[in-house]
Amino acid sequence: MFIQSEATPNPSTLKFLPGQTVLPGGALEMKDSESARRSPLASALFSISGVAGVFLGPDFISVTKSGGEWQTLKPMVLGAILEHYSSGAPILIDSSVAVDASSEFFDPRDAETVTTIKELLENRVRPAVAGDGGDITFRGFRDGIVYLEMKGSCSGCPSSTATLKNGVQNLMRHYLPEVLAVEQI
């Protein structure tokens, strides 16, 4: 098995491509070893000193470091990923990836606008963000402001504000004049 790695716009995060499906039809972010308990792969990665976050995408794994240098951490991360895939263990113990729709907020009168926002995110924004090792999800719409959550390498990335304001906000405002701004939750 050959695992590729790629730099991301976030210098604290590397993207690893195992050449096979990681999390079909979903994405899951884990920010500590407690939340990683449902994934043997994420648990193995969190056992490496200096790993601060794991994001599982459809075909990639983003790992965020809290300290140390990538030249030291990268071989250990590669080893943990390789060992996981060689073992045949599942990515998740509970294979359902739940999207907590209850955490979304918007006025029911804005349902049509929210549907368009979600379609734009799914078709135009998420593929580009996934290319950088992250994800972006809708959280709410109120008073003309779209609230989004950035995950994976995009969470805490120095260029995430530019991505939101220059990219996503301009796209939303182009298609939906009722959108005034885009904010990160």
| Domain annotation for the chain: domains and CATH numbers | 4-87 (3.30.1370.70), 101-184 (3.30.300.130)
Q: What is the DSSP letter of 35?
A: G
Per-residue pLDDT band for 131 (boundaries 50, 70, 90) equals confident
Q: Hey, is 78 helix, strand or coil? A: helix
The pLDDT value given to residue 10: 86
pLDDT of residue 156: 65
More confidently predicted of 59 and 153: 59
Is residue 156 left, alpha or beta, with left meaning phi > 0 and alpha meaning psi from -120 to 50? left
DSSP letter for 129, please: H
Residue 29's beta-bridge partner residues?
A: 55
Confidence of residue 73 (pLDDT cuts 50, 70, 90): very high
